Amino acid sequence: MGYVGVDLHRKRSHVVALDPTGEVVVSRRIGNAPAEFLRLFGELEPEPIEVVFEATYGWSWFADLLADAGIPAHMAHPLATKAISAARVTNDAVDAKTLAHLLRTNLLAEPGSPTSGPGGPPAGPHPGWSGCGHESNPSCMPCWPTWASSPS
């Protein structure tokens, strides 16, 4: 199993892939074109991977890309990811690596499954992360303040 952390930004993102022992396999800054992400993820095959990214505004296209590619995804809650906010040194590469380590060690603060969340699938027409009806849906960024104090 490979563990991939993505520090997602508007135009460019940093991707770090770890092997099961925590050794860095890939650390690369790439543009946010879906083809670039898929090419990088393809380099990690044939080993299965899981991807984690810290949710920021504009993350739904990336979640949809992962869902369409059949890649298990995890969304880190930005307010509950204390390993990043409390770090003495922080930059895109360090943040992506920290996310990957949190996923690898099962210490990731996340709202639940990116496609279902606690209590079932999100409201709306899409079975993924988009289309929230804003009924305290933990998979929706505007709804996060309603449950941020107790992430699952």
Q: Which of 84, 82, 68 is nearest to 6 (CA)?
A: 84
Contact between residue 94 and residue 87 where contact means Cβ atoms under 8 Å apart: yes
Mean pLDDT of the chain: 74
Token code pair at residue 74: 């995890």
pLDDT at 67: 93
- Tens digit of pLDDT for each residue in 111-135? 644 444 443 334 433 334 444 444 4
The residues, any chain, with a CB within 8 Å of residue 99's CB and separated by 6 or more, are: 5, 6, 7, 16, 52, 53, 54, 76, 81, 84, 108
* Mean pLDDT across 128-148: 45
pLDDT at 120: 38
Please name each of the domains of the chain with its CATH number: 2-146 (3.30.420.140)
What band does 85 get if pLDDT is binned at 50, 70 and 90? Answer: low
